Structure 1
Amino acid sequence: MKVSQDQIENLYAFTIKHFVEYYDLQTELVDHLANDIEAIWRVEPELTFDQARNKSFKKFGIYGFAEIVEKRQKAMNKRYLKCLWHELKTWFTLPKVMTTLSLFALCYMIFSSSISEYAFIAAYIVTIIWTVYKIIQLNRQFRRRKQKTDKKWLLEQIIFRQASGINLIFISQLANVINYSDVLYGNQTAIAIASLSFTSCCLLLYVSLQLLPNKADELLKEAYPEFCL
């Protein structure tokens, strides 16, 4: 016996009922359940579809799909970080390294000036404003994408939502930045560390909030051959 199309739709609804919200995870679980149900029917052909489905589901243990979802989330987070690192590395190789060095030199020059304390805080606040603007923009963009399709993809969620949340950590460090700014004037080591840190943060923010969201469709097609927006 083979699982019918209507039964496939039933399996999708079954995964949603058990708190699997991402279409890619649903598809993976539906394929697994369908194959297992057909294997069960070969041994016990008298079982109904619901009975075979429930028997297959019991094999996932008391936590149901939770462990599978958790493993998949970890794997997709790892994939996202790999993409992030790949993009960041390009800013330390030719020709982009020249832009990185120019940004570092500009930071070093500003933080070495007589107004270094105020310049450091001002630069940080401007970066915070841009970060908040991008987070709001990405959330709006994510909602518009959701209006085009009722399918949710895990990697898409990470690109547009989790990345924004991670960058809020940057904003939370304002008090530490204000305290650190006091030691900048005349301290070449502190200035170099501040310039390097600020340059690295700017690159991280730009890649995670600008470059990767702009490449979202490309990244999703690489991860999910069935993806079509």
Structure 2
Amino acid sequence: MTLSKSQIQDLYAFTRAHFVEHYDLQTELVDHLANDIEDMWMQNPRLSFEEAREKAFKKFGVFGFMEPIEQKAKAMNRRYLKYLWTELKEWFTLPKLMATVLLFLIFYFSFSSSIASYFMLGFYLLIAVWSFYKSIQLNRQFRRRKEISDKKWMLEEMIFKQAGFSRLLLLSQLPTWYNISGKLFSNFYFIIGFSVFTTLFFLWMYISLEIIPQKAEELLNETYPEFSL
């Protein structure tokens, strides 16, 4: 016996009812549940669909689908970071290397000046304001995409929402950095290190908020063959 289309749809509804929001993970779980149910029917054809479904679900343990959700999130996060790393490496090869060096020099000479603390505050506030604007823009874009497709993909959500957490972390640390920066900016090695960090941070934010969202269709089609906006 094989499952009917209505029973497959019932399994999708079942996963949603058990807090599985993303369509890609729903599909994996539905496939797993369907295979288990069909195996049970081979052994006991008189077993009802509902009984077989509950038995298949119990195999996931006390916490239900929580473990698969966590595993999927980790896998997608690794994939997202891989995209970030791939894009970042391009900024250390020609011709983008010239822009990276120029960016570093701007930060280095700014942090070497007598008003380095103000430059630091200005740069990071500028990044924070820009990232706040881009986060709002990407959230709106994500909502529009979801309305069109009526499906929620885990990697898609990361692409359009992930960078917002970096902005929150940045804003929370600004007062501390400003308070300690006065003494530290007199140290040559600190200036070099902080200039490198600021350059990498700026590139990371630019890649996550600008470049990767622009490549969303390509990355999602690569990850999900069934994806179609």
Q: TM-score range by the shorter chain?
A: over 0.9
SS in 1 for 2:139: helix
Q: SS at 1:173's partner residue?
A: helix
70-79 or 119-128, which moves further after superposition? 119-128
In the TM superposition, what whole-angstrom CA distance separates every residue of 1:145-182 from its partner, at most 9, and x where no partner exists? 11212100011111112332233212221112212431
Alignment of 1:96-107 (within 5 A): 96-107=96-107
Q: Is the Cα contact below 8 Å between 1:112 and 1:184 reproduced in 2?
A: no
Q: How does 1:164-179 map to 2 (within 5 A)?
A: 164-179=164-179
Could you report, residue by residue, the CA deviation over 1:87-141 in whole angstroms, capped at 9, with x for unpaired residues? 1111112221111111001111222233323222211211111111111111111
Using structure 2 for the length normalisation, give the TM-score. Answer: 0.94
Matched, 1:219 2:219: yes
Identity of aligned residues (%): 55
Unaligned runs of 5+ in 2: none
Amino acid at match of 1:223: T
1:179 partner letter: N
Equivalent residues of 1:117, 1:184 under 8 A apart: no
Which moved further from structure 2: 177-186 or 206-215? 177-186
Q: What is the CA–CA distance in structure 2 between the aligned matches of 1:21 and 1:123, rounded to whole Å?
A: 38
**Shift of the alpha carbon at 1:72?**
0.9
Q: Which runs of 4+ in 1 moved over 4 A?
A: none
Farther off after superposition, 160-169 or 54-63: 160-169
SS of alignment partner, residue 62 of structure 1: coil
Map of 1:134 onto structure 2: 134
Where in structure 1 are there 5+ consecutive unaligned residues? Answer: none
Q: Secondary structure at the match of 1:182?
A: helix
Tell me, in whole angstroms, the C-alpha distance in 2 between the residues paired with 1:40 and 1:115: 73
Across the aligned residues of Structure 1 and Structure 2, the Cα RMSD in angstroms comes to 1.5
Equivalenced residue count is: 229
1:125 paired residue number: 125
Determine the C-alpha separation between the residues in 2 that align with 1:68 and 1:119. 46
